[in-house]
């Protein structure tokens, strides 16, 4: 059983508390996901001890299930950025998968706009095309049966949940809401981030091609790296060690205060 995460505020869960950590890793879940999805990453033996691991808990799920769902990615980004500001006394690294990648990017933008040097030190994006690469989407308009079929197709949801009518009654409204949020998102051209970006992607991801993942390079003036793994949209479930290693390398670099990151001296 996963350990119960510490609650910092209604938005943030401390999956691996490290009061004296040199850097904080903040994880953003996928559509329909929750903070606990990142327990395996947080407790990976290969993840550097230099980092504290936090995860964002969106409204309307798990311990926030009685709160109204938010179907606007912009509003989610506004609220999540506000929740993270008090934790920016340590260098932040943001990591998001799927919808969480786009949300992490928008939070990074907001943190940078709110105060000098407020950007996170690094942005890791997984399983999501660059914001500038738009694809239309109508998954949120599908019937419940069609929505379940989509969840089976992309993976990431325990099949036992999808076969349980009572659990589906709880899951589907959250999934539909999150798809509405990400499918309604439109990127507005803005100056690129200055922090480095690392993009991770499965080489058979139906939602993100390698070319669409490589386009994240356009969203930073700093360093960029693309890492591909064998697998589909939830490749990271089969490559937990490899993902943890990739994240750990970034955290180790940020934890070294004298190292120049991405050629921008931050």
DSSP assignments along the chain, one per residue: -PPPPEESSSSEEEEE--TT-SEEEEEE--TT--GGGGHHHHT-TTS-TTEEEEEE--TTSGGGTTSPP---HHHHHHHHHHHHGGGTTS-EEEEEETHHHHHHHHHHHHHHHHSTT-S-SEEEEES---TTS-----GGGS-HHHHHHHHHHH--S-HHHHT-HHHHHHHHHHHHHHHHHHHT------PPBSS-EEEEEETT-TT--HHHHHGGGGGBSS-EEEEEESSSTTHHHH-HHHHHHHHHHHHHHHH-TTS--TTTT-
The distance of Cα 156 from the centroid of its chain, to the nearest Å, equals 14
The model's pTM is 0.91
Domain that holds residue 39: 6-134+191-255
Residue-level pLDDT at 6? 61
Structure confidence by residue, pLDDT tens digits, 31-47: 999 999 999 999 999 99
Task: Average the pLDDT over each of 7-11, 59-63, 68-72, 109-113 and give the range with the smallest value.
Answer: 7-11
Q: Residue 23: beta bridge partners?
A: 51
Residue 142 predicted with pLDDT over 70: yes
So what's the pLDDT on residue 258? 36
Q: Average pLDDT for residues 10-25, to the nearest whole number?
A: 95
Is 236 contained in some domain? yes
When pLDDT is cut at 50, 70 and 90, the band that residue 135 belongs to is: confident
Q: What is the pLDDT of residues 152-192, one digit of tens each?
A: 888 878 788 888 888 888 899 999 999 999 999 999 999 99
Q: Which of 85-89, 132-136, 205-209, 258-262 has the lowest mean pLDDT?
A: 258-262
Task: Report residue 238: phi and psi, to 5°.
Answer: -90, -15
As a whole number, the mean pLDDT across the chain is 91
Q: What digits encode the pLDDT tens for the residues 216-266?
A: 999 999 999 999 999 999 999 999 999 999 999 999 999 986 344 443 334
Confirm whether 163 is domain-assigned. no
Mean pLDDT confidence for 133-156: 87
For the record, the structure tokens of 253 come out as: 């670099």
Is 72 part of any domain?
Answer: yes
Residue 3: its pLDDT value, please?
A: 46
pLDDT band at 139 (very low <50, low <70, confident <90, very high): confident
- Predicted local distance difference test score (pLDDT) of residue 261: 42
Q: Domain tally for the chain?
A: 1
24 in a domain, yes or no? yes
Q: Which residues contact 219 (CB under 8 A, 6 or more apart)?
A: 105, 130, 131, 132, 192, 193, 197
The one catalytic residue among 34, 44, 98, 248:
98
Question: What is the CA angle 233-235-238, rounded to 5?
Answer: 150
Kindly compute the dihedral angle of the four CA atoms of residues 173, 81, 39, 123, in this order, to the nearest 10 degrees: 110
Does the annotation count 10 as an active-site position?
no
Report yes or no on 161 lying in a domain. Answer: no
Q: Binning pLDDT at 50, 70 and 90, where does residue 8 land?
A: low
Q: What is the CATH number of the domain that holds 84?
A: 3.40.50.1820
Percentage, residues of the chain above pLDDT 70? 93
Predicted local confidence at residue 264, as pLDDT: 39
């Amino acid at each position: 059983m996963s350990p119960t995460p510490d609650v910092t505020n209604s938005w943030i869960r401390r999956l691996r508390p490290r009061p004296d950590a040199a850097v904080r890793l903040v994880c953003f879940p996928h559509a329909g996901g929750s903070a606990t999805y990142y327990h395996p990453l947080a407790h990976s033996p290969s993840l550097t001890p230099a980092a504290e691991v936090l995860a964002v808990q969106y409204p309307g799920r798990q311990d926030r299930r009685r709160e109204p769902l938010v179907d606007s990615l912009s509003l989610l980004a506004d609220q999540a950025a506000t929740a993270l500001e008090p934790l920016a006394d340590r260098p932040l690294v943001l990591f998001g998968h799927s919808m969480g990648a786009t949300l992490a990017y928008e939070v990074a933008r907001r943190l940078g706009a709110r105060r000098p040097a407020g950007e996170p030190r690094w942005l890791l994006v997984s399983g999501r095309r660059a914001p500038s690469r738009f694809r239309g989407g109508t998954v949120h308009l599908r019937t419940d049966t069609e929505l379940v079929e989509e969840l089976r197709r992309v993976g990431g949801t325990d099949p036992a949940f999808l076969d349980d009518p009572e659990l589906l009654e709880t899951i589907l409204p959250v999934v539909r809401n999150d798809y509405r949020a990400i499918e309604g998102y439109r990127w507005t051209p803005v100056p690129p981030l200055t922090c480095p970006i690392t993009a991770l992607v499965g080489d058979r991801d139906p939602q993100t091609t390698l070319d669409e993942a490589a386009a994240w390079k356009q969203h930073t003036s700093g360093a960029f790296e693309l890492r591909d793994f064998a697998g589909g949209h939830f490749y990271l479930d089969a490559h937990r060690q490899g993902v943890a290693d990739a994240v750990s390398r970034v955290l180790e670099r940020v934890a070294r205060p004298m190292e120049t990151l991405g050629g921008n001296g931050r």
